[in-house]
Chain A
Amino acid sequence: MGVHGPTVAQSRPIVPSAVLGMAMFIATETMFFAGLVSAFLVLRAQSPDWPPIDQPRLPVGVTGLNTLFLLASGLTIQRAAAALRRGEKTVARWLRITLGLGVLFLGIQGSEWVRLVRYGLTTWSSLYGATFYTLVGAHGLHVLAAVIALGVALRRAVTGPVPAAAAAWLTPFRMYWFFVVAVWPILYVLVYLS
């Protein structure tokens, strides 16, 4: 106790609110995908033939290549964060590459979906089709949301210096992107390979 009486330590959050909020959001998203995967596994175990004989086979090779694109986008957003930390001017470039890889992933997924629908695999054709579009579609929507968010953020950053604009949102956004990237290989193995 000094002359000015008892001092009160100024509280400083150990984790930024945006990061904690994103962590909580990812926790709910984890439960969401866990529920979908569980339902998929139970339905698949119950079915005598999986995939059903009269249903088209999924494009394993192209989607495998697409998986690599999405994994690469995880690396590029990590490079963007590293560039931001070091104060380099390559942040925007790495973020644009990440955006491009996300768009590429969605484009390939979309084209494969169109082909599958033409071959007769729809949500109402079988339980197989319904679970496929629910699982892969839910993930695709998450990637689409991330791509839109990144596109909007980059568009806004055009008017000012990217590092200054990116500093606030890049960490929580990177968490979300990593989540989307990490979920996909699990879905790929479960839905396409097993």
Chain B
Amino acid sequence: MREPITIHARALHRFISSARLIGATTLATAALTLLASPAARACSSCFSLTDRGREAYYASTVFLGLLPFLILGGVIFWLRWAAKHAAESPEGAPARPRADTAEQSAPS
């Protein structure tokens, strides 16, 4: 015998995960975004900004949006360079067996 709450949860899950509902929600969100975007700027002070201030706001938004990717890219590039440098150096990549592993895998 099924618990009533389980039946309700499954029905709700079926309703939420139906392709029709997902499609309708996506379309409604897209329509609202297109229609309401002029009145729904992310910056609370944008209504009072001058044109110059708005340009600075947009430029800073782009700058702050791209900067994390630049930093991450720089760190990845630096780590790749360090790995390559370590592999090319004489003391780099010392592939020597670990004592404990060697002892464990030795035939008895």
Which of A8, A44, A45 has the most chain B CB atoms closer than 10 A to its own CB?
A45
Given A34-B67, A42-B57, residue A14 in contact with residue B95 (CB < 8 A): no
Structural contact, A41 and B97, CB atoms closer than 8 A: no
Closest to A2 in B: B97
For the complex, give the distance between the alpha carbons of A12 and B98 in Å.
12
Given A42-B56, A45-B53, residue A10 in contact with residue B64 (CB < 8 A): no
List the B side residues contacting A15 at CB < 8 Å.
Answer: 79, 82
Binds B, one of A23-31, A98-106, A132-140, A177-185: A23-31
Asked whether A159 is an interface residue with its Cβ less than 8 Å from the other chain, the reply is no
List the A side residues contacting B94 at CB < 8 Å.
Answer: 9-10, 12
Asked whether A194 is an interface residue with its Cβ less than 8 Å from the other chain, the reply is no
Closest to B84 in A: A14
Which residues 1-28 of A have a CB within 8 angstroms of B?
3-10, 12, 14-15, 23-24, 27
Asked whether B19 is an interface residue with its Cβ less than 8 Å from the other chain, the reply is no
Structural contact, B50 and A46, CB atoms closer than 8 A: yes
Interface string of B30-73 (1 = CB under 8 A from A): 00000000000000010001101101110110011001100110
Number of interface residues of A (CB under 8 A): 25
For the complex, give the distance between the alpha carbons of A44 and B60 in Å.
12
Q: How far is the CB of A190 from chain B (nearest CB, A)?
A: 12
Task: List the interface of chain B (C-beta within 8 A of A).
Answer: 45, 49-50, 52-53, 55-57, 59-60, 63-64, 67-68, 71-72, 75, 78-79, 82-83, 86, 93-98, 101-102, 105-107
Task: List the interface of chain A (C-beta within 8 A of B).
Answer: 3-10, 12, 14-15, 23-24, 27, 30-31, 34-35, 38-39, 41-42, 44-46
